[in-house]
């Protein structure tokens, strides 16, 4: 298997196709496999790279809690790109991966030609921040003691994910099956030290106001925890568009792959023709 070396972990990756690179960054409940419908579509014209985050086999699962968190998540994208000798890429992230993508745009803007930030913002509600963080610790402890078998089913039936089951039962079953294969320890580490310790997106207001990378926010209208954070991001990021898909929950790329691919394709085309910015 191919691996890229990042700080404290080897990251498993796959690449398909030729052309301008697109790097896909997966969410907490998924792994590199959940980008399959995007890779099959975009690899006809682009070089598509997917990778598994630290804590997700076959990438390494560090035992040191200090090797997890938002700083590593953004730096790992850069590490994969450097390993593959990619100076610039479109970067696409969902949820936890969207959070990393946004931070990557702040910290490594010279390496990003465009950002697709999908389903970002869970845990950013400032009034509920401490309760959210405490819940991540409880969830991490449950993963360590019980594993993923029952928790994967519970996750698949959550209010922002059950939409996939209603629309695509086979896709939902595959999502749950993949989730049950995840490392309980890696997931627990990620849950506690990344999900439960990261900044709310509102904390980045000053940096986001100066981030000039073309950005597309993508959101399902039933992904309730993310709606207000995305409105904030739309108001704050200079070269930013917001696309909302109706009757859709959190896993927008799995629920509505055709619509998601279409919107990304249009966005990339506009960026590549130099017409995304309304200042010109």
- How do residues 96-113 score in pLDDT, each as one tens digit? 999 999 999 999 999 999
**In this predicted model, what pLDDT tens digit does every residue of 7-44 receive, in sequence order?**
999 999 999 999 999 999 999 999 999 999 999 999 99
d(CA 274, CA 113) in angstroms, rounded, equals 11
Residue 78 pLDDT greater than 80, yes or no: yes
Residue 197 pLDDT greater than 90, yes or no: yes
pLDDT value at residue 120: 98
Q: Over pLDDT 70: what percentage of the chain?
A: 100
Are the C-beta atoms of 197 and 129 separated by less than 8 Å?
no
Residues 136-143: what's their mean pLDDT? 96
pTM to 2 decimal places:
0.97
d(CA 132, CA 123) in angstroms, rounded, equals 6
pLDDT value at residue 280: 54
DSSP secondary structure of the chain: --EEEETTEEEEEEEE--SSEEEEE--TT--GGGGHHHHHHHTTTSEEEEEPPTTSTTS---S-GGG-SHHHHHHHHHHHHHHTT-S-EEEEEETHHHHHHHHHHHH-GGGEEEEEEES--TT--GGGHHHHHHHHHHHHHHHHHH-SHHHHHHHHTSTTTHHHHHH-HHHHHHHHHHHHTS-HHHHHHHIIIIITTSPPGGGGHHHHHT--S-EEEEEETT-HHHHHHHHHHHHHSTTEEEEEETT--S-HHHHSHHHHHHHHHHHHHHHHTT-S-TT-
Distances (CA, A) of 46 to 17, 89, 216, 268: 6, 10, 18, 11
Mean pLDDT over all residues of the chain? 97
The structure tokens listed for 150 are 């029952």
Q: How far apart are the first and last CA of the chain?
A: 45
**In this predicted model, what pLDDT tens digit does every residue of 201-260 receive, in sequence order?**
999 999 999 999 999 999 999 999 999 999 999 999 999 999 999 999 999 999 999 999
**In this predicted model, what pLDDT tens digit does every residue of 50-72 receive, in sequence order?**
999 999 999 999 999 999 999 99
Residues 162-173: what's their mean pLDDT? 97
Q: Over pLDDT 90: what percentage of the chain?
A: 98
Count other Cβ atoms within 10 Å, centred on residue 130.
9
pLDDT value at residue 277: 86
Are the C-beta atoms of 90 and 214 separated by less than 8 Å?
no
d(CA 276, CA 249) in angstroms, rounded, equals 27
d(CA 133, CA 100) in angstroms, rounded, equals 18
What sign results for the dihedral spanned by CA atoms 239, 245, 248, 253?
Answer: negative
Residue 176 pLDDT greater than 60, yes or no: yes
């Amino acid at each position: 298997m191919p691996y890229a070396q990042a700080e404290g972990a080897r990251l498993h990756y796959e690449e398909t196709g030729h052309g301008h690179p697109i790097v896909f960054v997966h969410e907490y409940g998924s792994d590199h496999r959940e980008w399959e419908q995007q890779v099959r579509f975009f690899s006809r014209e682009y070089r598509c790279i997917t990778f598994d985050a630290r804590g997700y086999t076959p990438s390494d699962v560090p035992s040191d809690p200090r090797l997890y968190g938002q700083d590593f998540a953004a730096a790992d994208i850069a590490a994969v790109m450097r390993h593959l000798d990619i100076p610039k890429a479109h970067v696409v992230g969902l949820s936890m991966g969207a959070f990393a993508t946004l931070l990557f745009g702040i910290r490594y803007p010279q390496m990003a030609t465009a950002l697709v930030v999908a389903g970002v913002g869970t845990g950013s509600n400032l009034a509920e921040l401490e309760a959210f963080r405490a819940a991540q610790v409880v969830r991490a402890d449950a993963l360590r003691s019980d594993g993923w078998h029952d928790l994967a089913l519970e996750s698949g039936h959550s209010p922002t994910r059950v939409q996939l089951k209603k629309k695509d039962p086979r896709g939902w079953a595959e999502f749950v099956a993949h989730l049950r294969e995840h490392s309980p320890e890696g997931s627990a580490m990620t849950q506690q030290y990344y999900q439960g310790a990261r900044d709310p997106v509102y904390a980045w207001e000053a940096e986001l106001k100066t981030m000039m990378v073309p950005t597309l926010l993508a959101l399902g209208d039933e992904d309730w925890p993310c709606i207000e954070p995305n409105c904030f991001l739309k108001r704050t990021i200079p070269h930013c568009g917001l696309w909302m898909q109706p009757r859709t929950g959190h896993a927008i790329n799995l629920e509505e792959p055709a619509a998601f691919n279409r919107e990304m394709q249009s966005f990339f085309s506009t960026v590549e023709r130099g017409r995304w910015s309304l200042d010109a």
